[in-house]
Amino acid sequence: MKLIIHGGFFSESLTNLEVKKAKQDALRSIVKQGYNYLQNHTALQTVVYTVALLEDCDLFNAGTGSQIQSDGKIRLSASLMDGSTLKFSGVINVEEVKNPICIAEKLLNYEDRVLSGQGARDFARENGFEYHNPETPQRRAEYEEKLNKAIRLGTVGCVALDGEGNLATATSTGGKGFEIPGRVSDSATTAGNYANAHAGISCTGVGEDIVSAALASTIVTRVTDGMILQQATQKTFAEMKPFNGFAGIIGIAANGEIFHADSHPYMVWALYDGDVEVFG
């Protein structure tokens, strides 16, 4: 059993040691909780549980504590993929909910599995997801003072390999902050979140770059075709160099290989396989 998580890119962590330590400590705690949960649950259940913990931690740009868009509203996106069934589900730009990844989980059982905007919010209400304001005082202050450029790159994600050999991925974001309302990034697409029987990938970074590279699905396809995870990742990242693609990934292959990479340090991540390792 394997578990790896990420908390996106944090440029402010390079200069604010207190913030950096708080985020590392949070990742350390959450990855342990997720791994313990994995002992008695499937990969699919575990990635939902773990990403929900990340969404609930206001240190990260997902769920509570998400960035505010240019019109003053918060819109959340998240997706989920089950490597064993190849089912993908997600919500895009949903407002006033607490855990978008849990709504994505609910959608796995429906024929229409990716919903956006008002339709996603209506679905959430109809299925018992109550009103929640994900704004925090810190995010409001940043919005009002136009400080988004310092901390705009953030997403959370999880990849898990369970005891049955099944892989699953989950990714959630509050956006980049101050974007045009209606903008869609990678997190609720197969470019940013993808798994099959061979590998699972969760991405973070600039959504447009990740979509341009079809990053997660390309890496997984290459592993499926016989490359090792590290080789597949490095080849795909090399293909982003012509447009200076800004991205980071965490991944697990079915053989247990774990790999992480970023094009522009520093992505913060943690893995647990008996020992915790945190970078950032």
Tell me, what's the pLDDT at 267?
A: 86
What local confidence, expressed as pLDDT, does residue 9 receive?
Answer: 80
Top pLDDT among 149 and 106 is at 106
pLDDT at 22: 86
pLDDT at 147: 47
Active-site residue identified among 46, 50, 64, 155: 155
Please provide the DSSP assignment of 47-64 as one string: HHHHHHHHHH-TTSSSST
On whether the CB atoms of residues 124 and 94 are closer than 8 A, the answer is yes
What pLDDT band is residue 154 in, cutting at 50, 70 and 90?
A: low
Q: What does DSSP say about strands 76-82 and 199-205: parallel, antiparallel, or unpaired?
A: unpaired
Cβ neighbors of 54 (< 8 A, separation 6 or more) are 5, 7, 30, 60, 62, 63, 156, 158, 172
Checking if the pLDDT of 2 tops 60, the result is: yes
pLDDT digits (tens, 9 = 90+) for 128-142: 999 999 888 877 887
Q: Are 135 and 68 contacting, i.e. CB atoms less than 8 angstroms apart? A: yes
Q: Alpha-carbon distance 267 to 161, whole Å?
A: 21
* pLDDT, tens only, 61-73: 999 988 888 888 9
Active site residue 224: no
Could you report the per-residue pLDDT of 181-216, keeping only the tens digit for each?
Answer: 889 989 999 999 999 999 999 999 999 999 999 999
**What are the two backbone dihedrals, phi and then psi, of residue 164, each rounded to the nearest 5 degrees?**
-90, 0
Residue 156 has pLDDT above 60, yes or no: yes
pLDDT value of position 152: 46
- What integer pLDDT is reported at residue 145 of this predicted model? 65
- CATH assignment, 2-68+79-87+136-279: 3.60.20.30
pLDDT of residue 241: 94
What integer pLDDT is reported at residue 111 of this predicted model?
96
Quick: pLDDT tens for 97-115.
999 999 999 999 999 999 9
Cis peptide before 266 (omega within 30 of 0): yes
pTM comes to 0.89
pLDDT in the model for residue 178: 77
Q: Let me know if 208 is exposed, middle or buried by CB neighbors in 10 A (0-12, 13-18, 19+).
A: middle
Q: Which residues, at least 6 apart from 270, have a Cβ–Cβ distance to it below 8 Å?
A: 4, 5, 6, 24, 27, 28, 30, 31, 276, 277, 278, 279
Per-residue model confidence (pLDDT) at position 63: 94
**Positive or negative CA dihedral for 36, 157, 61, 237?**
positive
Residue ranges per domain, the chain? 2-68+79-87+136-279
Residue-wise burial string across 84-120, b where 16 or more C-beta atoms lie within 10 A, e elsewhere: beeebbbbbbbbbbbbbbbbbbbbbeeeebbbbeeeb
Mean pLDDT over 223-250 rounds to 96
Averaged pLDDT of the chain: 90
Task: Calculate the alpha carbon distances from 58 to 26, 93, 174, 180, 227 in Å.
Answer: 10, 18, 11, 23, 37
What's the pLDDT score for residue 11? 56
CA distance to 48, 52, 59, 86, per residue, from 94 (Å): 17, 15, 20, 24
pLDDT (tens digit per residue) in 210-220: 999 999 999 99
Mean pLDDT of 264-275: 83
Residue 18 identity (one-letter amino acid): E
The answer to whether the CB of 148 falls within 8 A of the CB of 138 is no
Region 238-259 average pLDDT: 95
Q: DSSP character for 128? A: T
pLDDT at 82 over 80: yes
